[in-house]
Amino acid sequence: MRAEGTFELARRCFTKTQKLLILRRANYKCQYCGTTLSEENFEADHKLPFAQGGATEVWNALALCTDCNRRKSDKLEGE
């Protein structure tokens, strides 16, 4: 809670800075299939899905290609 009667909403989307850190940490490779990624063709995904309470933080993120991210959906990593 921020102030009396108001709540701070959780942020679902990664910031541009977070996305760049996630991509660099993954060495510009999809962390599932190994496809080469760029700033324009990757998606930052939550390891523990946001829908299941996962934080929108770099430590809870994967760099994925679009295909792998669509297959993962809101499942846990490895499901």
Q: What is the pLDDT along the chain (79 residues), one digit of tens a residue?
A: 344 554 455 678 999 999 999 999 999 999 999 999 999 999 999 999 888 899 999 999 999 999 999 886 656 555 5
Contact 49, 10 (CB under 8 A): no
* Bridge partners for 46 per DSSP: 61
Two tokens, residue 78: 């490895």
Q: What pLDDT is attached to residue 75?
A: 60
Q: Report yes or no on 6 lying in a domain.
A: no
On the 0-12 / 13-18 / 19+ scale of CB atoms within 10 A, 34 is: exposed
pTM, to two decimals: 0.76
How many domains does the chain divide into? 1
Q: Report yes or no on 78 lying in a domain.
A: no
Q: Report yes or no on 24 lying in a domain.
A: yes
Mapping DSSP to helix (H, G, I), strand (E, B) and coil, where does residue 61 land? strand
Contact 57, 25 (CB under 8 A): no
Q: What pLDDT is attached to residue 7?
A: 46
